[in-house]
Each structure stands twice: as structure tokens, then as C-alpha cells.
Structure 1
Amino acid sequence: MSESDTVTGEASPVRKIIHIDMDAFYASVEQRDNPDLRGKPVAVGGSAERGVVAAASYEARQFGVRSAMPSVTAKRQCPDLIFVRPRFEVYKAISRQIRDIFAEHTPIIEPLSLDEAYLDVTENLQGIPLARDIALKIRGKIKAETDLNASAGISYNKFLAKLASDHRKPNGQFVISPEMGPAFVETLPVGRFHGIGPATAAKMNALGLFTGLDIRNQTLEFMNANFGKSGAYYYWISRGVDDRPVRANRIRKSIGAETTFSTDLAEYGALAAELKPLVDKVWRHCEATGNRGRTVTLKIKFADFEIITRSRSVAAAVAGRDDLERLACGLLEIEMPLPKRVRLLGVSLSALQIGDEAEPQLTLGI
């Protein structure tokens, strides 16, 4: 389960939830701003030799190119693929513009990323009775103001709203009513459930669970025994039940940055030097948002793509940028000498607090 909220299955008033998902957002922005890219397979990400695909245009997706795919693999699948460096400041500015459109209809907005959000429009600001009409109006204004397409899912809970937005992509919308919900879920392959990844789907298949109906036929005790704390979530969503609220101004769980090297590195000095700009980026975000955190995590990806992570938690929030760097470098020092050359390095800060909640750790004692 990807979100910390717990589904209890308790009866709640019928809500009107919209899930808005921008279509191939980063790639669509690049095609909008550069006419030469329109109608062509585009991947936003690092270089064709060393990077990872952050987003793919629909033309690229026809060749099987997907986000998080190594660029080398993507180029192999689509030889004509055009790689474009990401422009995150541009994407963030457009995301803020879209968020302002949402706010014309409801203050209850839960952003999931720059291009995706839940909206609770049960009591919307414009008094529009039908959520489908609100979604149409939002999508129309996004198109008019940004020249970008958005898809929307409308339902009575978050789980079904997200499923619905996937159902009519790109540039469409779909409604799953309370009457439709259980029947819609029962035919759905478990791998399509939001919150069920490939490993969990494989485990479910091994237990004879292939569709929502298969899960629905199990007891809550069976699901808890086999899937731990996520078992109840799967049990209830297979019945079309999800009482998690849309959380306005939801605080992200971590702040991180990572970089892939043009050549693999092994020496401590070179790796520590690469950590500095990553720490700068993480701390800039902390300063901009007021977030502070207590847990520093170092991510190392070796040349053979093996990944290890190492973490250190402190009693109170990390006080400053230099303290964050010392903690990250300390985690790296412990791993030296490394058994293999390093392809990627990342650093993140978690156990986040905001504003007055964050009492800084005055001395790290390391």
C-alpha cells in the first residue's frame, strides 16, 4: 500500500472525488514548447548512454518506452527516440498554474506529484452539482491556459477515482458511480490495482488471486495473514471501499536528490564531491518548504545496477546544510572501500517535520 492512511471499511457519506492526471506531462510540455518534437517519440531524462527515462511521450510509449527505464534500453526499443533534458523549473511553474485552477473549485487538494492530484469536490466552491461537469470545466481551463491535456477520473473514493482516470487516457474522463464500483473492481487484474506492485501481484497470483473478485472471495483474516498490514487495504478495495480522505497540503514523506555519473566512480574523494550538489539541492527544498527531517539516507547504485541504502537517524531535526552533508559523508565513509564501482549516488531526508514542529538538533555528536 503506497499511502499511510488506513482503509477501515466503515460507512461514510458519499463523496465526490476527482483524480486529475496530466497526460505525459513532462514530454507534452517539451512538445508544446518545441514544434520540432511534435508527433515524434520523445523521452525526458538523462543522456541516451547513462540516464533514466523520467517521462515518455505517447509516440515513444507505442514502442514500449516507459518512465524509470534505463535510457539504453529505451533507445534499443525505439532507435529514433529523442532525448530531452528535463526543465523542472518550467514543469513546477505549470504545475502551480494548474493547482490554481483546482483551487477555483475546492480547497481540498492532495497533490501526488507535479502532474497528478486528488480533489474533493463534494462541497465545491462554484456550486456545480455534478462532479463530471467540474472535471470537464477543469480540464477545459487547463487546456485553454496551458495548451496541455489532462485526464480525469471521477468516483466516490480515491482508489476508484484513480482507476477511472486511467480508463480514458489520454485526454478523457470516466465516472465510476457507487452502483458500478464493486462490479468494476471484480474484473480488474490485481496488477492494475493502485498500491499493488509487481512483487505483490506475483505473490497474489501464486495464491490463486488474479482479479478483484478473487480477493473479494477471501476473508479478512486470510488477507492479513498473507499480506500483513496491507491485507485489510486489499480486502476493502476489492469491494470498492476506500474511506481515506483527500488530504489538503499533504506533507511529503521524504526529500531527495540523486545523480547518475558519466563514468563510474570508486574513490571516496570523488564520491564525496558528488554528494555536495545533492545535499545543496535537498537543503534548498527544505528552506523553500520549511520542512526538516531526522533521517538521512544514502543510496548507492553500483555499475552492475545493484542498489544499497544506508540510513542514520538523529534525535531531533537536522539543523543545517553542513550537518546534512556530514551525516551523508559519514554514511559513505562507513562503506569504504566499496566492493564495486558506483554508477549513481543519492541522498534523502525523511521523518519530516514542518514549521514549529521541527526543533533542530544543535549538535550532531558525530
Structure 2
Amino acid sequence: MGTDVRVKRVIAHLDCDAFYASVELLRRPELRGKAVIVAHDGPRSVVTTASYEARRYGVGSAMPLSRARRMCPHAILVPPNFEAYRATSKALWEIIGARLGRLQHLGLDEAYADLTGVEKPVRVLRELVEKVRAETGITVSVGLGPSRLIAKICSDLGKPAGFVAMGREEAAERFASVSPKLLPGIGPKSVERLRELGIETIGQLQNTPEETLAARFGVNHGRDLLRRAHFHDDSPVETDRVLKSRSNERTFDEDVDSLEELEQVLRRLARELCEGLERRGKRGRNVAIKVRLDDWTTVTRARTIDTFTHDAALVTEIALELLRAYAPPRPVRLLGVRVASFEEEGGGTPSPVAPPRNAAQLALPL
């Protein structure tokens, strides 16, 4: 009679601490210990990132620069230098990737790693983050758990230079008294709607009947809220070896209803995505955006072009056109961009007939 041996999943989330600001502090050591905001100077600019000294005043990524300056008027403004960020990112992920083969990159500064079956994963990760710090000057916070959900939460707990590991049952108990806003995917609007039901904590959400949540949020969203509250998550770490597309997305701390602000964020997402594609030698023909509204409605729009590309200017232009054509009717909680239909999948030369330029809605998620 055979023995059922189940290997426990071990997922890590590696997140560089205030990455762009950290690179700037390495380039300009005289700014260390000071409040620094990385952003272009302009009336519609948004914060790319901020040092921890500025974050103490409430300054956060994707915040309008005008608001950040009101919150922290003495902050030093530094324009972003993406060439420096790309070089540092390449160096640190080469160090990590040489030891951990299974990575899912999320922009320049964070990635998931699947360490299932790796012997002594805690030791491996501690040695890696120390090696990255010694060779690049960048500190990396690590979250470790049985799922991406728990790993992501854990990586935020001890920043900067944090290292937190936790199991599902421990997480469900430890965070029972915490607001549901802790959980990735539950934004301010959902928190407010939960509060209207008398649900103030994750523990209360855990004990809420699924039918109650379904009546308020819809069947799918209600079920998802309950799964998150119990810290259930079986989403895989999707490595380059199995990905059919690559995407970059951002969930906002506060829902965004300004098209100008959304366009700023989309430009950055598209640029970071194309930088990753270029590093990996990948070019695609299908460009898509993903928009999730404050009521959880999720819409994708896509366009297929007649050439393979990883050109940031072209991808950005198409993504912006798709966003403007959709014109989100409600505040946006998540925005993303995707490139798919890579050369190695397309069977050679693309069709000489250019597709229509109107945006087409896709059923497939990003």
C-alpha cells in the first residue's frame, strides 16, 4: 500500500525596500536620513516612491505629488532615473535567480519565488538577501508562507529589511483582530461596504456566512472575500518557462477617479513591463489593459498589432488609447497592462493584414 506524501508549498515574496529611493540614496549618499520623494516635477505628477523618512508623513507611491508636498513640505524631490533602476534591478535579480530558478517577476523590484522542495529555504533566503545587500547595497524584505497571499502580507510586516514566515492557520489567528484592508485585493471601498455589514475585522469576516457576502458583493466576489479571510490561496508562481504572457499591474491604496493620474501610472507600468521583456528577449503582438473598478467589475481591453515588439513607447501608446477608449465609468482600484502572443508562440511571421484598431474586449484575465 502506497504512502501519500504531500509536499508542503513554500512560497516567498521578495520585495526591495523603497527601491527607487534606495537606488537614489546609493547614488547620492548625502540624502541618507532625509525625506526624499522620487517623482517628476509637474502639476499632474504622481509619486514614484519615497524614502521611509518621507513615508512617516503619509507619503506613498501613486499619490499626487501636490498632495505629497503638502504632507511633507521639507521633502527633497529627486527625478526618477530609470536607467539606474534597470541596472540595479538586473544585478540583484541575477544574484537571486542564480540560486532560485523559479521566479515570477512583478516589475523591477519584487518577485515571487517557489521554494517547494528546497532544503532549508529560510537559510537559503537569508544568505541571498545578505549577498544582495553586500553586492548591490539594496535591502530586500522577505515574506515566506504556503501561498502567495501569505508571503505578500509577511513581506510587508517587518519592512525595511524584514524576514517573516507564517503558516495559514497562524495567519488566520494572528490577524483575526486586524482590518480586512490588510488582505491584498480588499481595498478601501470594499472595507467600507464590509463595515456597513458590521464587519470590522478579518475574524468577523471569517465568521460571516458566504450567502451574506454574496448578497452584498455578488457570488464570486463574496466567495473570494471569504477565502482571503481564511488565507486560502492556491495561485501558482508563474515562471517564464510557463508564461504565455507577461503583465504588470498596481492595486491602489485609494481608488483613483482621475484619468490623468491613471495615465501616469499606466505609463510607468508599461515602461517597467517592456524593460522586463527586453531583458528576457521577449516580444509580443498583443497589448492589453486590465481595469478593476471600485465595485470589483473587471474589464480587459486588447489590441493585436502586425509586428512583434517590446518597445515601451509603442506599448504605452496602445495602452493609453485602450484606457481612453474605455474611459472608466467609476473609480479604479486596480490597473494593469499586458503583452502576449510572443514570437516563439506565433509560428513565425505575423499576418501581413493589420487588424482593426478598435479595442476588443477579452474574456481572458491578465
Answer yes or no: is the 8 Å Cα contact 1:182–1:240 preserved in 2: yes
Deviations 1:216-256 (A, max 9, x none): 11233443442443333322221222111211125433699
Larger gyration radius, structure 1 or structure 2? 1
TM-score, L = length of structure 2: 0.71
Distance 2:173 2:351 in 1: 52
Which letter maps to 1:168? G
Distance 2:190 2:166 in 1: 25
Q: Give the one of 272, 284, 303 matched to 1:292.
A: 284
Distance 2:305 2:227 in 1: 36
Distance 1:136 1:281 in 2: 27
2:138 pairs with 1:144: no
Deviations 1:85-144 (A, max 9, x none): 1111221222222222222332111112211111111223xx3x2x32222112111111
Answer yes or no: is the 8 Å Cα contact 2:183–2:229 preserved in 1: no
The Cα shift of 1:194 comes to: 0.8
Answer yes or no: is the 8 Å Cα contact 2:129–2:139 preserved in 1: yes
SS of 1:319's equivalent? strand
Distance 2:271 2:165 in 1: 44
2:345 pairs with 1:357: yes
Answer yes or no: is the 8 Å Cα contact 1:139–1:149 preserved in 2: yes
Which letter maps to 2:184? H
Structure 2 CA distance for partners of 1:91 and 1:120, relative to 1, 3 Å? same
Distance 1:184 1:358 in 2: 48
2:34 pairs with 1:40: yes
SS of 1:136's equivalent? helix
Q: Which residue of 2 aligns with 1:267?
A: none
Q: Which residue of 1 aligns with 2:156?
A: 166
Distance 1:330 1:16 in 2: 38
Matched residues, number: 305
Structure 2 CA distance for partners of 1:287 and 1:91, relative to 1, 3 Å? closer
Answer yes or no: is the 8 Å Cα contact 1:150–1:170 preserved in 2: yes
Q: Which residue of 2 aligns with 1:71?
A: 65
Which letter maps to 2:220? K
Distance 1:280 1:181 in 2: 35
TM-score, L = length of structure 1: 0.71
Deviations 1:197-230 (A, max 9, x none): 1222222222222221122112334434424433
Answer yes or no: is the 8 Å Cα contact 1:153–1:165 preserved in 2: yes
Q: Which residue of 2 aligns with 1:8?
A: none
2:208 pairs with 1:218: yes
SS of 2:15's equivalent? strand
Q: Which residue of 2 aligns with 1:31?
A: 25
Q: Which residue of 1 aligns with 2:123?
A: 133
Structure 2 CA distance for partners of 1:287 and 1:90, relative to 1, 3 Å? closer
Which letter maps to 1:291? R
Structure 2 CA distance for partners of 1:119 and 1:328, relative to 1, 3 Å? closer
The Cα shift of 1:38 comes to: 1.1
After TM superposition, the structure 1 = structure 2 runs for residues 160-309 of structure 1, keeping only pairs within 5 Å, are 160-225=150-215, 226-249=217-240, 250=243, 251-253=245-247, 289-294=281-286
Answer yes or no: is the 8 Å Cα contact 1:317–1:361 preserved in 2: no
Distance 1:224 1:36 in 2: 54
> Is there any run of 5+ residues in structure 1 with no aligned partner, and where?
1-11, 257-277, 300-309, 336-347
Structure 2 CA distance for partners of 1:35 and 1:14, relative to 1, 3 Å? same
Structure 2 CA distance for partners of 1:42 and 1:279, relative to 1, 3 Å? closer
The Cα shift of 1:16 comes to: 1.5
Which letter maps to 2:196? A
Q: Which residue of 2 aligns with 1:4?
A: none
SS of 2:74's equivalent? coil
Structure 2 CA distance for partners of 1:29 and 1:254, relative to 1, 3 Å? closer
Which letter maps to 2:104? E
> Is there any run of 5+ residues in structure 2 with no aligned partner, and where?
1-5, 251-268, 292-298, 326-335, 358-366
RMSD over equivalenced CA pairs, Å: 3.7
SS of 2:99's equivalent? coil
Answer yes or no: is the 8 Å Cα contact 2:287–2:319 preserved in 1: no
Distance 2:125 2:319 in 1: 47
2:111 pairs with 1:117: yes
Moved over 6 A (4+): 278-288
